[in-house]
Amino acid sequence: MIKAAIFDMDGLLIDSERIIMQGCIQAAASIGITYTQAEYVELVGRIWADSTRLMTQQLGSEENFQHVMQGLNTYLDACNHVFPLKSGALELLKYYQAQGIICSVASSSPTSHITHRLTHTGVLDYFSHVTSGQEVTRGKPNPDIYLLALQKLGLQADECIAFEDSELGAQAAIAAGLRVVVVPDLRQPSDLVRAQAFHVVGSLHHWHQNHDTLMGCVAETFRIG
């Protein structure tokens, strides 16, 4: 039996990536730039410094990046920067709490974003530890954030399971030696990640409903989603 579960946040626990992406697309369009989903997906899973650097390159200048960030903040102000939980997230957290399995967050987002978003969705108290991309020098796909999360938990990788939606996040968890359950959001995982993941499932709801079976089976022969 696992002792702890480590969760990514954006696109995994909360349905934020699509909303943020749409805000970026609209803000870029307001200054005459066509910004695409394919470009945005390249940012997903990265720490803020890496995302900023890449998005500045995508948009062509620091000035354009600042315009888009201002427009995005205005767009998100309408929802108080709060996003809905993904299907099955609350049920899975309740299940793990009842089973005595510790839950932790390892998100590339700034700490303030993590606490704000999880507080306003009512799930922050389910987590014993929060690890932010601000706490590591190297972001995903490097394993640093997961290694730090394991250090905070005081556990070994084989005692835990990780949940990720993004390619970079899954690579980071795998590099840290964790079994990773991939729940794709904006993009399906690569063949390499599929081959190395513990499971690829359609939603956290699917994972919760089939938890005991999936935990006991071989990933290569039984997947949902």
Domain regions of the chain by residue span: 4-15+83-221, 17-77
CATH value of 4-15+83-221 in 3.40.190.170, 3.40.1280.10, 3.40.50.11810, 3.40.50.1000: 3.40.50.1000
Instruction: With beta carbons less than 8 A apart as the criterion, state whether 23 and 76 touch.
Output: yes
pTM of the model: 0.91
* CB-based contacts of 60, cutoff 8 Å, min separation 6: 33
Closest alpha carbon to 1 in 126, 128, 102, 93: 102
Query: Over the stretch 86-124, which tens digit does the pLDDT of each residue have?
Result: 999 999 999 999 999 999 999 999 999 999 999 999 999
**Residue 113 confidence (pLDDT):** 93
Q: What does R_g of the chain's alpha carbons equal in angstroms? A: 17
**Exposure letters 138-152 (e unless 16+ CB within 10 A, then b):** ebbbbbbbbbbbbeb
* CB-based contacts of 119, cutoff 8 Å, min separation 6: none
Query: Over the stretch 118-171, which tens digit does the pLDDT of each residue have?
Result: 999 999 999 999 999 999 999 999 999 999 999 999 999 999 999 999 999 999
**Residue 222 confidence (pLDDT):** 34
